[in-house]
Amino acid sequence: MLGTLVTLAILRCAQKIHAHFYISRCTHSLTSFDLSCGSADPSIPHIHQGSLEPFKAGKPPAPTSSEEAALRAGKTVTVKNMDGDQGGRATAVFEVAAPPEIVWDCINDIKAYPKMVTGVVAVSIYDGPRTSGGVTTKKAQWTLGFMGYKQTYYNVLTFEPRQNSMTFKLDYTRNSDFDDAVGKWYVEPIGDGSSSRVFYSAALQLRIWLPKFVVNALFESTLGQATSWVAPEAMKRLAAAGGAPGGGGASAAAASAKCKRTWRGKKCPPPPPPPPPPAGPSLLRKAMDRAMLVVATAFVIAALSKTMVA
């Protein structure tokens, strides 16, 4: 969920500081580096009714042969479509050793995000859930936190089980700290249905210029942050439900076929070990991500300083 994109929140604030249209709605403090901007307000509509094209429910494009090989090796595949230095769209694809219903249980449990997802401070549902024609819609307020900065935004989440999808966008009837943000989750079964392939897509549009390497790094960092929690949480919930990761179906049948009857009763070999969850970022990757965040924050402060001088 975009609630996990904490670095995005820093960029959003930078945009508002940089754009003179927003100056009257933001408070600045160079001594405390207060970048909260405080413009989120549920009593007034957003400044526009959507500048980004929302994602549509349904199956995303299939991975390429090389991406497929990486997924089978337990890696996360990231596809980015950058729009110059202003932002773009990106998709992360990974596999989880749990059935889709367990994965969806995690994704839809947005009230638990503060406990599951780093950077999400609070989530509250202010409308719904409402179900009509098999489609469930709810609206939620999100508060993000990073290094003392906080951002609030309001979004609409639409879950369509028949399409294996959940899409989300800003609730434009309320003013959010983000300029605009849209996204999508898609989960499909793989193999015998005991494992899942997960697609997470997000889009943003920047109004402040940032070096392309910073934008690229932020995309990689935020995509990893938005998805790395899913597999561990799904494994916990699967274990609590009494299931075995990646178990059931064909693997269970194979194990049963190898069972032998002895005078002491039925004797079966131990089940195969579960496949490991997708590998998390390395220490080097984490260090690079942190360095990019520092660089991005420096650009924010520089933009703020120029605006204050102007």
- Cα separations in angstroms, 58 against 34, 101, 155, 206: 41, 17, 20, 27
| Cis amide linkage into residue 129, ω under 30° from 0 | yes
Examine residue 20 and state whether it is found in any structural domain, yes or no.
Answer: yes
Residue with more model confidence, 3 or 134: 134
Q: Which residues contact 207 (CB under 8 A, 6 or more apart)?
A: 15, 18, 19, 86, 179
Examine residue 266 and state whether it is found in any structural domain, yes or no.
Answer: no
Interatomic CA distance for residues 15 and 67, integer angstroms: 34
Closest to 302 measured CA to CA, from 119, 88, 35, 84: 35
Query: Quick one: pLDDT at residue 243?
Result: 73
Closest to 209 measured CA to CA, from 90, 83, 310: 83
Query: Quick one: pLDDT at residue 274?
Result: 52
Q: Which residues contact 309 (CB under 8 A, 6 or more apart)?
A: none
Examine residue 257 and state whether it is found in any structural domain, yes or no.
Answer: no
DSSP, residue by residue, 113-152: HHHHSTTEEEEEEEEEEEEETTEEEEEEEEEEEETTEEEE
Place of tokens 């990106």: 90
Residue 191 belongs to a domain with what CATH number? 3.30.530.20
Examine residue 232 and state whether it is found in any structural domain, yes or no.
Answer: yes
Examine residue 54 and state whether it is found in any structural domain, yes or no.
Answer: yes
Domain extent for 178: 2-250+274-309
Share of the chain above pLDDT 90, in %: 45
Examine residue 84 and state whether it is found in any structural domain, yes or no.
Answer: yes
Most confident of 23-37, 125-139, 273-287: 125-139
Closest to 103 measured CA to CA, from 1, 5, 237, 223: 237
User: Which pTM value belongs to this model?
Assistant: 0.71
Query: Quick one: pLDDT at residue 153?
Result: 92
Query: Quick one: pLDDT at residue 302?
Result: 54
Share of the chain above pLDDT 70, in %: 59
Closest to 107 measured CA to CA, from 189, 4, 193: 4
Binned at pLDDT 50, 70 and 90, residue 20 comes out as: very low
Query: Quick one: pLDDT at residue 8?
Result: 44
The DSSP secondary-structure symbol of 175 reads B
Q: Which of 177-196 are b and which e, b meaning 16 or more Cβ less than 10 Å from the residue's Cβ?
A: bbbbbbbbbbbebbeeebbb
Binned at pLDDT 50, 70 and 90, residue 298 comes out as: low
Mean pLDDT for the chain? 75
Question: Which range, of 150-159, 218-227, 269-278, averages the lowest pLDDT?
Answer: 269-278
- Domains contained in the chain, number: 1
CB 108 within 8 A of CB 158: no
Examine residue 72 and state whether it is found in any structural domain, yes or no.
Answer: yes
pLDDT digits (tens, 9 = 90+) for 110-130: 999 999 998 899 999 999 999
**What average pLDDT does the segment 141-162 reach?**
90
Query: Quick one: pLDDT at residue 263?
Result: 72
Examine residue 268 and state whether it is found in any structural domain, yes or no.
Answer: no
Binned at pLDDT 50, 70 and 90, residue 78 comes out as: confident
CB 11 within 8 A of CB 28: no
